Amino acid sequence: MNEITLTSQNQYDDEELIKNFPGFSNHYLVVNSVKLHYVEGGSGEPLICLPGWPQTWYSYHPIAMELAKTFQVIIVDIRGMGSSEKPDSGYDKKTMATDVLELVQQLGLSKVHIMGHDIGGMIAMSFAFNYPDYTEKLIVLDGAHPSEGMMQMPLMPAPGTFNEKMDANMPYAWWMGFNQVKGLPEKILEGRFQYLMDWLFNYVMIDDRKMSSFERAVYASAYNQTESIRASNGWYQTFSQDIEDAKNYQQLTMPVLGIASYVSYNFMKMGLPYIGKNVEVKGILDSGHYLYEEQPEQVIEAVVEFLLK
């Protein structure tokens, strides 16, 4: 794939992208002193959807229309993502959960289902920990709240485990450390984000051809700018605060579903049951980390079955 040019930037703007989401519309709200972009469609019980890195609300494209047949689907560009504002601070998951709470309140919703992928899963779980009265059911996909286990992640890969595809038993996620660095990633990646992104998709997906060239262009467009890179790295640079916050959280009592790809199944199966009293973990082992793109039908089936039972 050749380097993305910005001459056709408009085709990646929200106003153009929403045309690929029949029945959905763009919206903006100022919540917790930050302007958030979200899209909304469908009817039924409300389902808040939170994307992860390095994607945007558009990552829900493979599953949103089908979910909207049963639920009021609200997909949020989290603080620092896409068309949402990118302030200098507030990227700890508790603050970002409060962003979501105020959005829920302004929409007049008393209780919601909430699901998140990757970083979005961390925020969704923080929302459930901090605002259980607003949380009907929680779904996390390949992403759980930061914990002290992160401190044991290796600086160097185990011999023989760092290959073209991520090793499920000894995963080496070097970008967790790289994204801690302040100032340098912006200089390296501005206008070149696609190189990191293409490498990442190949590494953590079983079949990265499922991530289309158009989708890659959408995300490269969203992350090519200095401010976007800085803000998204802020999600990682607050992990220490997130770990401290988690020490004060009580076990969740609402139903929780973890959906795990082959790269995270072993870890979610072991760790997720400790966070709640009513937790189940479903593995989609023929998918890598980007489950919506690789196995959308299985994700939809698992989500709908869990939310309707």
Residue appearing with tokens 């989708």: 215
pLDDT at 7: 42
Per-position DSSP letters for the chain, written without gaps between them: -PPPPSTTGGGGSHHHHGGGSTTEEEEEEEETTEEEEEEEE--SEEEEEE--TT--GGGGHHHHHHHTTTEEEEEEE-TTSTTS---SS--SHHHHHHHHHHHHHHTT-S-EEEEEETHHHHHHHHHHHH-GGGEEEEEEES-----GGGGG--SSPPTT--SSS--SSS---THHHHTTSSSHHHHHHTTTHHHHHHHHHHHH-S-GGGS-HHHHHHHHHHHSSHHHHHHHHHHHHTHHHHHHHHTTPPPB-S-EEEEE-TTTHHHHHHHGGGGBSSEEEEE-TT--S-HHHH-HHHHHHHHHHHHH-
**135-141 sheet: strands from edge to edge:** 24-31, 34-41, 71-77, 45-50, 112-117, 135-141, 256-260, 279-283
Q: Which CATH superfamily is domain 9-308 in?
A: Alpha/Beta hydrolase fold, catalytic domain (3.40.50.1820)
Domain residue ranges in the chain: 9-308
Render pLDDT for 62-93 as a digit per residue (tens, 0 to 9): 999 999 999 999 999 999 999 999 999 999 99
Render pLDDT for 16-68 as a digit per residue (tens, 0 to 9): 999 999 999 999 999 999 999 999 999 999 999 999 999 999 999 999 999 99
Cα–Cα distance list, 100 to 34, 105, 285 (Å): 11, 9, 30
Render pLDDT for 269-295 as a digit per residue (tens, 0 to 9): 999 999 999 999 999 999 999 999 999
Helical pair 213-223 and 193-204, crossing angle rounded to 10 deg: 130
Render pLDDT for 152-177 as a digit per residue (tens, 0 to 9): 999 999 999 999 999 999 999 999 99
pLDDT at 70: 98
Chain-wide mean pLDDT for the chain? 96
| Residues 60 and 49: beta-carbon distance below 8 Å | yes
Render pLDDT for 230-283 as a digit per residue (tens, 0 to 9): 999 999 999 999 999 999 999 999 999 999 999 999 999 999 999 999 999 999
pLDDT at 8: 53
How large a percentage of the chain has pLDDT more than 90?
96
pLDDT band at 9 (very low <50, low <70, confident <90, very high): low
Residue 3 has pLDDT above 90, yes or no: no
pLDDT at 6: 41
Residue 305 has pLDDT above 90, yes or no: yes
Residue 189 has pLDDT above 70, yes or no: yes
Per-position DSSP letters for 53-91, written without gaps between them: TT--GGGGHHHHHHHTTTEEEEEEE-TTSTTS---SS--
pLDDT at 5: 41
